[in-house]
Structure 1
Amino acid sequence: MKNIVLLACLAVSGMFFSQNKTYELSSPKGKNKIKFELVNNAPKYAVSHGKTQVISPSDMGFLLKNNEDLSQNFEILKVENSTFDETWDQVWGEKKKIRNHYNQMVVKLQQKNQNKRKLDIQFRAYDDGVAFRYVYPNQNDKDSIFIMDEKTTFNLKEDGQAWWIPAYRENRYEYLYQKSPVSKLDTVHTPLTIESNSGLKLSFHEANLIDFASMTLVNTTGTQLKSDLVPWADGVKVRVKDSFTSSWRTIQIGEKAGDLIDSYLILNLNEPNKLGNPTYFKPYKYTGIWWGMHIGKYTFWESEKQGATTKNAFDYIDFTAKEGFHHMLIEGWNKGWTPQWYENHMHMFSFTKTADNFDIEKVVDYGNKKGVELIGYHETGSNLINYLKEIDAGFALYQKLGIHTVKIGHVGSKLNMKEWHHGQFGVNYFRYVLQKAAQYNLAVFYHEPIKDTGERRTYPNMLAREAARGQEYNAWSEGNPPSHVVILPFTRMLSGPMDYTPGVLDVEIKQGYPGKRIHGTTAQQLAMYVVFYSPIQMLADLPENYTGKPELQFLKDVPTDWDNTIVLNGEIGEYITTVRKDRNSNDWFLGSMTNEKSRDLSVSLSFLDKNARYEAQIYADAKGTSETVNPTAVAISKKIVKSTDVLQLHLGGSGGTAIRFKKL
């Protein structure tokens, strides 16, 4: 529901002003300011936060085919200013009501040469950051438009520490974050998080990415970052017919690290909900035949250790129903899996034919009797030629069976072994599949995807995605170091929900590959359900590792749909404490996690209702517990608390604490 909407517009004709005039736009409370001007007929912008300059004058524009320069020789035709204020409801999310309050300035430019190309630049100033995008209006171009380069730069006024993953690598976004000065960066993916030398926390990303190439950032000189659009195989960055609208280039600005997480700028820059309230999806937790394949207990393909069999499915359904959960994922259920399925080949998966020893109709029927709905799975192997031929038949099968969620994987370094996952081809493909799924009443979560840019606001059947190095790396690689899980909330997760697949209680992976383990404690795995936001959360471990474990109760209690979210404390790569209020009860939940260092944190409970008492149900690292010492030991206790209390948390090395505050 939308609340008060205020709109005011002012159009200023450029002919009344010198072309050297500076135009300024401030956020509603004046926290952030954008300055625009033409310098020698070239557009420049700058950004400041309070008295601190964040971005010094920086370039804007594009280079088109045949070296046609769309970044200079401009004059200003008009500048339009407006303000906007609304409060809108998320169908599901980390916060129910989101305020969208900004001031906007649209600068309409036209080149002074023979072609007289027009280009509009839209700026928005929020109190939690700034954004701008380019709109190239239809100008009756005879030929298609080919963008060969984007000239946008971000000239950081000062250096700082950046947390980043490399772009243009085989494993897409699935890399460990590195930390280095901005001045030492190469080409990196967004979100790019920076702590400037002045202490400001910055996140560079993009929003509402439609029919355009995604943006990476390259360090060109000093502390200057430049947009580097992901190209097609032939080197063209973007190809359109008559007009184009870029994604929003976003800079979220915070004084504390948690301010970046508390920002909803990315969502606010997307279009309103186009699907209404999809009744076929409500947030949930799920189990699945998945972790067993990663640790080597089962195989994805047909073999003596085949994971996706009717018998195994029945057993997993029994466990899921017994413990009170209602959704279950089965990977490897269909034809096409081989031991080489993850290698770069044009694998030919079927999306309607079942694997030997698996009867999908019997499994679905058995699940229905037990109150457990299957989650569909489509692994494309990045062979989209094959997938798009079968997508309607695959989705129709799920619709016929009453399946309402599909996980879609895209293992492979390039789509069709040719195009980047995050180029214009991939952007359009992932959006097409999302819209196609909606036609079949299917909600989607992607693995090996294009990064999130907030489209879940427009299409609430877009649930979550991977787009980072997730839990499975702990099963068969050197694993994710302790700092990884306290970097993700301040980097990758600023873009949107992540399907990290938490909940592995057997962190030492006793049934797995020799020497492989999770570099954290069991209590930390519990805390992830609060710290890592997703409307769908997996209980990733094997059923036998949950049976009889008292900490399973927290996983039963913790919701996946929230009324409010607050980050209480945190430093990037060090620690974080997050609290969230359940959307469907008066309960609050807390998750706190640390890197390899043990920590004692004081947490004010002022977020609780001031007129109530709560039972704090605490799941913490047992005394002396750390990643290497008794990591599965969880101390469970209860105490009565109120909003004026301060809670003392002790986190073991690579540990965590999870708490349910039950209102009495």
Structure 2
Amino acid sequence: YNQLRLDLKEKNAPHRQLSLIFRAFNDGVAFRYELFRQPGLDSVFISSEETRFNFARDDSAWWIPADYESYEHLYRHTPVSQLKAVNTPVTLETPEGVVIAIHEAALSDYPGMTLRKVSSQPPVLKSELVPWPDGIKVKGQTPLRTPWRVILLTNDAKNLLASHTIQNLNEPCKIEDTSWIKPMKYVGIWWGMHIGVFTWHSGPKHGATTARAKRYIDFAAAHGFGGVLIEGWNQGWDSWLSGNNVQNYTKAYPDFDLKEVAAYARRKGVALIGHHESGGNVPEYERQMTAALDLYRKLGVPAVKTGYAGKMHPAGQHHHGQWMVRHYRKVVEEAAKRRIMIDAHEPVKPTGVSRTWPNFMTREGARGMEYNAWSEGNPPSHTTILPFTRFLGGPMDYTPGIFNLKFDPTGKHRVYTTLAKQLAYYVVLYSPLQMAADLIENYENQPAFTFIEHVPVNWDETRPIAAKIGDYVSVARRQGQNWYLGTITDEQPRTIVIPLDFLVPNQTYRATIYEDSRQTDFDANPTAINIRQRVVTSADTLHAKMTKSGGQAVELVPIK
């Protein structure tokens, strides 16, 4: 990048000084403010950040509404003039096809930024920071640096799929030895809770039992999965969502033996993934956090999923305010001391911090698969928007891999994809901790499950193929010598032409293709799938022919 630093000084007393730093990258620009230590400026209280983004025209935008507690909204597609206030990232497109994405990078000890419309003609969006309970936005000491305010620019939306600018604006890795940070696929009882088969809390349908945990561990070991997530094992879940969540993060329910399950997982070569659900009661969680992480460290648990679903405590604090940004970072740092990876749900938005703290493997921060279990569901276009909005900041734990798409016998709820699209998610939706989210019995004797067994979760190279925001995405990713293709569409059937010119010239590959079949019907038969093989080279072309909300997943392996 190229950098410009402007040092500014007030003309009048007290002559405070501020620096404005700009960086220009091949695919965007970024700027931040710095207040260094100076006479008369020690403590800093910021009541407003006046950053404005001025647009020449009323371009179309994909956005979710500003919400200080959650990013779990469906994206809307309107002219900029029709939005009122939005969370970032917000992504725009001009009639000429220029794509502009606004976000922030390196969010540390500062509140999250939303954008509020202050003018419609022409559109102007102003920074609106998430406040403390007393209305102050930022409380700190000099030297103080704001997060980077980032504008990504490209002539083709697909280029956003391979952008690392937001990540590269963060500080280098602070963990000296990263050998213990290991990406993996995992299974768990999570989906069973959401569809009502199990419960987190105690009772006759309690999901986290010793016997069930061992059955999931056996499945993971048999199919080469790295981990098993067990939620609801610890006492106190009966208070969850009551407004005052009080859990014991080290004491198990009587039907779950944590020590025995952890030992069983180790013998099977499977990692037990722990779980801490604060329910929004952050002071209570912080009071127990050290002991809870120490317990997992002692038992060899290498990863923990954290949650913050519930009313925030103390009253007046927001999920995305400075106080919580500090908390999320504290959890990641304390976990790193114990060689534990973190998967955060109900998080603050990702801003590339995984470069600095790579044990922060993934997080939620958007509507994921669970909304299909008990709400109106995620429409077919939802996952064709996420790669150009939410994923710009970093990986997401979307929890794909549902095979029983029409799981609800009443017909009220379902997953709004075909089976082939679920497979394609493993390539399109990046997460180095990636779940096969369905009940394990739904994977038995399913040939399509072979793709999930084979597909990696971390990549050496990404090649965007084709994309139109809200309509379709096609991307190729490589690990080692093997390539994987993922292509998905919205509610419109379509065919995407995929040149294989990213393959090594003069090398033949065996392509195993998982695709919507002639019998696949989004409404009547969404699980029908065609699996075929062909030999290809870099001179060949594949066609991803997809039905409504369909997809195609391809594994390309060199033939020796």
Aligned 1:466-485 pairs, distance under 5 A? 466-485=364-383
Asked if 2 retains the 8 angstrom alpha-carbon contact of 1:348 and 1:383, the reply is: yes
Asked if 2 retains the 8 angstrom alpha-carbon contact of 1:587 and 1:663, the reply is: yes
2:170 aligns with 270
1:357 aligns with 255
Change (3 A) 1:157 1:413: farther
Moved more, 135-144 or 548-557: 135-144
**2: CA distance, partners of 1:460 / 1:553:** 29
Asked if 2 retains the 8 angstrom alpha-carbon contact of 1:216 and 1:227, the reply is: yes
Listed one character per residue, the Cα deviations across residues 163-222 of structure 1 (whole Å, up to 9, x for unaligned) are 11111265x100100111011111100010111233210110000111111111111102
Secondary structure at the residue paired with 2:171?
coil
Asked if 1 retains the 8 angstrom alpha-carbon contact of 2:283 and 2:313, the reply is: no
Unmatched 5+ stretches in structure 1: 1-101
Question: Counterpart of 1:238 in structure 2: which amino acid?
Answer: V
Instruction: Identify which of 554, 558, 569 aligns with 2:451.
Output: 554
Aligned 1:278-427 pairs, distance under 5 A? 278-338=178-238, 341-343=240-242, 345-427=243-325
Runs of 4+ in 1 over 3 A off after TM superposition: 413-417
**2: CA distance, partners of 1:437 / 1:209:** 19
Question: What is the Cα deviation at residue 279 of structure 1?
Answer: 2.2
Listed one character per residue, the Cα deviations across residues 343-366 of structure 1 (whole Å, up to 9, x for unaligned) are 5x1211111000120000111111
Question: What is the Cα deviation at residue 337 of structure 1?
Answer: 0.5
Residue 527 of structure 2 corresponds to residue 632 of structure 1: yes
**2: CA distance, partners of 1:154 / 1:554:** 44
Asked if 1 retains the 8 angstrom alpha-carbon contact of 2:68 and 2:318, the reply is: no
1:657 aligns with 552
2:45 aligns with 146
Question: What is the Cα deviation at residue 123 of structure 1?
Answer: 0.3
Moved more, 160-169 or 473-482: 160-169
**2: CA distance, partners of 1:485 / 1:114:** 53
Question: Counterpart of 2:483 in structure 1: which amino acid?
Answer: W
Question: What is the Cα deviation at residue 316 of structure 1?
Answer: 1.3
Secondary structure at the residue paired with 2:365?
coil
Instruction: Identify which of 512, 515, 521 aligns with 1:620.
Output: 515
Secondary structure at the residue paired with 1:150?
coil
Asked if 2 retains the 8 angstrom alpha-carbon contact of 1:149 and 1:237, the reply is: yes
1:600 aligns with 495
Secondary structure at the residue paired with 1:387?
helix
Secondary structure at the residue paired with 1:500?
coil
**1: CA distance, partners of 2:354 / 2:332:** 10
2:340 aligns with 442
Question: What is the Cα deviation at residue 143 of structure 1?
Answer: 5.9
* TM-score, L = length of structure 1: 0.82
Question: What is the Cα deviation at residue 485 of structure 1?
Answer: 1.1
Secondary structure at the residue paired with 2:348?
coil
Aligned 1:7-46 pairs, distance under 5 A? none
2:100 aligns with 202
Instruction: Identify which of 128, 143, 158 aligns with 2:27.
Output: 128
**2: CA distance, partners of 1:309 / 1:188:** 42
**1: CA distance, partners of 2:132 / 2:141:** 16
1:572 aligns with 469
How many residues are matched? Answer: 557
1:647 aligns with 542
1:115 aligns with 14
Aligned-residue CA RMSD (Å): 1.3
**1: CA distance, partners of 2:532 / 2:67:** 48
Question: What is the Cα deviation at residue 290 of structure 1?
Answer: 0.8
Question: What is the Cα deviation at residue 142 of structure 1?
Answer: 5.9
Question: Counterpart of 1:278 in structure 2: which amino acid?
Answer: T
Change (3 A) 1:417 1:509: farther
2:429 aligns with 532
**2: CA distance, partners of 1:632 / 1:386:** 44
Question: What is the Cα deviation at residue 433 of structure 1?
Answer: 1.0
1:505 aligns with 403
Change (3 A) 1:169 1:152: closer
Question: Counterpart of 1:398 in structure 2: which amino acid?
Answer: Y
Instruction: Identify which of 498, 504, 516 aligns with 2:413.
Output: 516
Aligned 1:36-115 pairs, distance under 5 A? 102-115=1-14
**1: CA distance, partners of 2:27 / 2:224:** 40
Listed one character per residue, the Cα deviations across residues 213-236 of structure 1 (whole Å, up to 9, x for unaligned) are 111111110211111111111100
Question: Counterpart of 1:176 in structure 2: which amino acid?
Answer: L
Secondary structure at the residue paired with 2:221?
helix
Residue 488 of structure 2 corresponds to residue 588 of structure 1: no
Listed one character per residue, the Cα deviations across residues 575-610 of structure 1 (whole Å, up to 9, x for unaligned) are 00010001xx30000000000111111110000001
1:51 aligns with none
Aligned 1:216-295 pairs, distance under 5 A? 216-222=114-120, 223-295=123-195
Secondary structure at the residue paired with 1:356?
coil
Secondary structure at the residue paired with 2:333?
helix
Question: What is the Cα deviation at residue 510 of structure 1?
Answer: 4.6
Residue 75 of structure 2 corresponds to residue 188 of structure 1: no
Question: Counterpart of 2:171 in structure 1: which amino acid?
Answer: E
Listed one character per residue, the Cα deviations across residues 512-543 of structure 1 (whole Å, up to 9, x for unaligned) are x6521001111100000000001011010001
**1: CA distance, partners of 2:278 / 2:186:** 22
Secondary structure at the residue paired with 2:355?
coil
Secondary structure at the residue paired with 2:212?
helix
Asked if 2 retains the 8 angstrom alpha-carbon contact of 1:625 and 1:653, the reply is: no
Question: What is the Cα deviation at residue 241 of structure 1?
Answer: 2.5
**2: CA distance, partners of 1:269 / 1:323:** 38
Listed one character per residue, the Cα deviations across residues 436-456 of structure 1 (whole Å, up to 9, x for unaligned) are 111111110100000001110
Q: Which has the higher contact order (CA 8 A, sep 6+)?
A: 2
Asked if 2 retains the 8 angstrom alpha-carbon contact of 1:202 and 1:260, the reply is: no
Asked if 1 retains the 8 angstrom alpha-carbon contact of 2:16 and 2:41, the reply is: no
Unmatched 5+ stretches in structure 2: none
**2: CA distance, partners of 1:151 / 1:325:** 48
Instruction: Identify which of 62, 67, 71 aligns with 1:163.
Output: 62
Asked if 2 retains the 8 angstrom alpha-carbon contact of 1:330 and 1:374, the reply is: yes
Question: What is the Cα deviation at residue 544 of structure 1?
Answer: 0.8
* TM-score, L = length of structure 2: 0.98
Question: What is the Cα deviation at residue 289 of structure 1?
Answer: 1.4
Asked if 2 retains the 8 angstrom alpha-carbon contact of 1:158 and 1:197, the reply is: no
Structure of higher CA gyration radius? 1
Question: Counterpart of 2:117 in structure 1: which amino acid?
Answer: N
Listed one character per residue, the Cα deviations across residues 411-454 of structure 1 (whole Å, up to 9, x for unaligned) are 02535343111111111111111111111111101000000011
Asked if 1 retains the 8 angstrom alpha-carbon contact of 2:276 and 2:306, the reply is: yes
Secondary structure at the residue paired with 1:149?
coil
Asked if 1 retains the 8 angstrom alpha-carbon contact of 2:28 and 2:153, the reply is: yes
Question: Counterpart of 1:570 in structure 2: which amino acid?
Answer: A
**2: CA distance, partners of 1:626 / 1:331:** 34
**2: CA distance, partners of 1:425 / 1:521:** 42
Listed one character per residue, the Cα deviations across residues 469-491 of structure 1 (whole Å, up to 9, x for unaligned) are 00001011111011111111111
Question: What is the Cα deviation at residue 274 of structure 1?
Answer: 1.2
Identity %: 46
Change (3 A) 1:507 1:467: same
Question: Counterpart of 1:205 in structure 2: which amino acid?
Answer: H
Residue 506 of structure 2 corresponds to residue 611 of structure 1: yes
